[in-house]
Amino acid sequence: MPVLEAFVTDQPIDSDRMLLAVESPAVGAVASFYGVIRNHDPEASGEVVSLDYTCHPDAGRIIREIADSVVTQLDPEGEALVVVGHRIGRLVVGDAALVAHVATGHRGLAFTVCQELVERIKAELPIWKHQQEASGRTVWSNLGLDADG
């Protein structure tokens, strides 16, 4: 089973534990993505201080389906070992929001699978972020709406 873990959690993501999960004597490369909260965003008018991530109730199932689909499409031999997690709830600048580790025999496949996995999750996973700015202004990402009216 190449997708070892795919989850959505309201707890801090333990990247080190996830990395240990993909260790294997057959692994020659691990490509990782560690997406963190930054203090700016194109949709923000000021400094971002935190985000509240919310998700659809099926997000846990959907992230697994996305991971399975990417691995099936790009790694028909079943070589890749994949772990991926997305955090929900209140996150502050520097917190990890999305972590993925893809282990394979060679770097090319690891990079390809990891990149496609992240792109598909960002495009398809029903998770939304509500940004809080230092000024007190809030905005839902990708909607361009002020929560203040």
Q: DSSP states of 59-81 as a string? A: HHHHHHHHHHHHHHHH-TT---E
Residues near 3 by beta carbon (within 8 Å), at least 6 away in sequence: 64, 67, 68, 71, 82, 83, 84
Helical (H) or strand (E) element with 119: helix 107-124
d(CA 95, CA 133): 16
What is 3-143's CATH number? 3.90.1170.40
Q: What is the pLDDT of residue 1?
A: 56
Q: What is the pLDDT of residue 110?
A: 98
Model's pTM, two decimal places? 0.92
Residues near 137 by beta carbon (within 8 Å), at least 6 away in sequence: 44, 45, 46, 146, 148
| Residue 62 CA from chain centroid, whole number | 12
Q: What is the pLDDT of residue 39?
A: 95
pLDDT tens digits, the chain, 149 residues: what are they?
A: 599 999 999 999 999 999 999 999 999 999 999 999 999 988 888 899 999 999 999 999 999 999 999 999 999 999 999 999 999 999 999 999 999 999 999 999 999 999 999 999 999 999 999 999 999 999 887 553 444 54
